[in-house]
Structure 1
Amino acid sequence: MQNVHDVLTTEEGQRAFAHWRLAGLDRLECELEAQLSCALMPPARLHEAVRYAVFGGGKRLRPLLCQASGVALGADRQALDTVGAAVEMVHISSLVYDDLPAMDDDSLRHGRPSVHIQFDEATAILAGSALLTQAFMTLRHTPIPPARQALLMETLARAAGPDGLCGGQMLDLDSLGSVIGLPVLNLMYQMKTGALIRAAVRMGALCAEPSDADLEALDRYATAIGLAFQVVDDILDVTQDSATLGKTAGKDAQDHKPTYVSVFGLDPSRRLARLLNEQAHAALAGFDARATYLRELADQIVNRLH
């Protein structure tokens, strides 16, 4: 049984985390606002679509991971805010593309019409491209030495390209209607979902001066939570409704898409999510209390099941 001191310590920690999270989200919104063009600037329809996509809700998990990783290593807060905004732009870009009829063909995102539904397909494609390019413009403004800016750009480009998001989406499209094993499923989601999560964690660390050991541990943490995030998403897709999810529920099964639930089963997927969370915590064993926010974010990912 927990004693009173343990309970108070836990409650205090949760309050501290909630305060840190809200403050970080507020700064992120300000940074995104500063980096994106006004909706009234020409071409107004494109800027309106970009802002519709960016400010339409979402968990903002990746920029929070970037900030938490940087906090663990003592990085500059403004650098983390700028890098987090760039990572979020790439993530939002991928969602705009993912919803297109040629991809997942989903009309709902964050509880409202997808960009191509609210505007049109051509505008959605251009908005996704605009966000992707703006992300790298944003990184150029990071207040760190140019050589480290270049390393951030390389990290983000790798996560977004054929070894990351693009490659994972291709594997996803190729797998529709197919029966695949767990190794292929893991690879697909390590690229499509995990690559940008790993990049967010690594880029936060790169805003400081991490050791090779720090980066290796953070990579193991990020790999675990990247897969955990996807496992939980697959579980929620079959256990929650569209109103709760903010996107079309049950669409994976409808499209005959392989998921952790379809390949592994519902209860084994739940156990896998918990195991991955344990692995994430184990990866942070060498860090002190400054990695508390990373631990809390890992727990939040898996606690979406409750």
Structure 2
Amino acid sequence: MTIKEQLAKRAQDVEAYLTHCLHDRGIPARLQQSMEYSLLAGGKRLRPVLVLSWASLLHPQDTDITDKVMPFAASLECIHTYSLVHDDLPAMDDDDLRRGKPSNHKQFDEATAILAGDGLLTEAFGLMSAASIVKGLPADRVLRAIYVLATAAGAGGMVGGQAVDMEFTGRDDVPLEELREMHAMKTGALITAACECGAILAGAGDEDIEHAREFGKSIGVAFQIVDDVLDVISDTETLGKPAGSDEAMGKSTYPSLMGLEKSKKLAAEYIDTALQYLSGYYGSEQEFLWQLSRYIVDRVY
């Protein structure tokens, strides 16, 4: 089975949980429809898969660890989806297409899209708590993971990164280091948190948690670089969103600052760094994470 097929299979398990995680929550029908429209629109489910994989890697003796961690893993997809819904709004990136479908505000309306994002973000914290309250994971692990994820998703992480991205839009003098720091917040923080939270929820020690965190940081940067490259070399049908939108909006990207080939090389270097943090582990989960890391950059070759 190829890594793409393995990722798709694991994504299906996440998808199965997502299809019912908003049920019986007393959500008004139109709002729930809007939330699920974006939440169930597909995607690689990379962030929840990373949570599940790191938890399984570091707690292989617990055959139920995936089931126990699943609500927390799903919460990352809720947070990621809310960020996409809000990023697409006219006041932000003003995109009409997401994952091959009309953006939430185009399918419904702006007010509903804003509320759908608000709802997804808030419901995410209920899902995080369910890992302990419903699934029985130790509360101290879940509390620590909630802290890590809230920090990554908040004003000093993903939200702050989007704010800086908007400040950078239209500028042609953004230093590479500032671009890297912005993307570490906007994209990398949530990917890093996915790996770190998986390790925390598995009850791992500080060294293993550090390895998960540093792995996540490296693949987070590589993932963003590859996204920037794909925006240049791919097409709208393949991406599921408008190709070339970064250049059209005057956004600072790795290709705009470094060129395509240097960007590809830098992404590969970050993946090489990530793989160093897997070198002390063995088994099927280590192999999956290894291949997944390579797949991130293979998409541009």
TM-score per shorter chain, which class? over 0.9
- Further displaced range: 294-303 or 241-250: 294-303
Q: Deviations over 1:249-281 (max 9, x none)?
A: 111111110000111111100101111111111
1:305 aligns with 2:300: yes
1:186 aligns with 2:175: no
1:166 aligns with 2:155: no
Query: Number of matched residues?
Result: 291
Read off the aligned partner of 2:225 and give its amino acid letter. V
The alignment partner of 2:52 has SS state of helix
Read off the aligned partner of 2:177 and give its amino acid letter. P
Read off the aligned partner of 1:230 and give its amino acid letter. Q
User: 1:207: which partner in 2?
Assistant: 201
In structure 2, runs of 5+ residues without a counterpart are none
- Further displaced range: 137-146 or 121-130: 137-146
Tell me: CA distance 1:180–1:42, structure 2 relative to 1, closer, same or farther (3 Å): closer
Q: TM-score, normalised by structure 1?
A: 0.91
- In structure 1, distance between residues paired with 2:140 and 2:213: 21
The percentage of aligned residue pairs carrying the same residue is 42
Instruction: Check conservation: 2:141, 2:203, Cα contact below 8 A.
Output: no
Aligned with residue 286 of structure 1, among 280, 286, 289: 280
Aligned with residue 219 of structure 2, among 216, 225, 229: 225
1:254 aligns with 2:248: yes
1:174 Cα offset (Å): 0.6
User: 1:48: which partner in 2?
Assistant: 33
Read off the aligned partner of 2:152 and give its amino acid letter. A
1:132 aligns with 2:121: yes
User: 1:60: which partner in 2?
Assistant: 45
Read off the aligned partner of 1:52 and give its amino acid letter. Y
Tell me: CA distance 1:234–1:51, structure 2 relative to 1, closer, same or farther (3 Å): same
Tell me: CA distance 1:18–1:243, structure 2 relative to 1, closer, same or farther (3 Å): closer
Q: TM-score, normalised by structure 2?
A: 0.92
User: 1:89: which partner in 2?
Assistant: 78
1:79 Cα offset (Å): 2.1
User: 1:3: which partner in 2?
Assistant: none
1:23 Cα offset (Å): 4.3
1:137 Cα offset (Å): 0.3
1:22 Cα offset (Å): 4.4
Aligned with residue 25 of structure 1, among 5, 8, 11: 11
- In structure 1, distance between residues paired with 2:57 and 2:15: 22
1:37 Cα offset (Å): 2.6
Aligned with residue 145 of structure 1, among 121, 135, 138: 138
Tell me: CA distance 1:286–1:264, structure 2 relative to 1, closer, same or farther (3 Å): same
Q: Deviations over 1:51-84 (max 9, x none)?
A: 1001111111111111111111026111222221
Q: Deviations over 1:106-152 (max 9, x none)?
A: 00000110000000010000000100001000111102122222112
- In structure 2, distance between residues paired with 1:216 and 1:71: 16
- In structure 1, distance between residues paired with 2:234 and 2:211: 34
User: 1:245: which partner in 2?
Assistant: 239
- In structure 1, distance between residues paired with 2:200 and 2:27: 36
- In structure 2, distance between residues paired with 1:170 and 1:187: 12
User: 1:216: which partner in 2?
Assistant: 210
1:18 Cα offset (Å): 6.2
1:19 Cα offset (Å): 6.8
Read off the aligned partner of 2:15 and give its amino acid letter. E
User: 1:107: which partner in 2?
Assistant: 96
Read off the aligned partner of 1:273 and give its amino acid letter. A
- Further displaced range: 146-155 or 258-267: 146-155
Aligned with residue 23 of structure 2, among 13, 26, 37: 37
Read off the aligned partner of 1:255 and give its amino acid letter. M
- In structure 2, distance between residues paired with 1:66 and 1:183: 28
Tell me: CA distance 1:21–1:291, structure 2 relative to 1, closer, same or farther (3 Å): same
- In structure 2, distance between residues paired with 1:266 and 1:42: 45
1:20 Cα offset (Å): 5.1
The alignment partner of 2:19 has SS state of helix
Q: Deviations over 1:217-274 (max 9, x none)?
A: 1111111100000000000001111111100111111111000011111110010111
Read off the aligned partner of 2:239 and give its amino acid letter. L
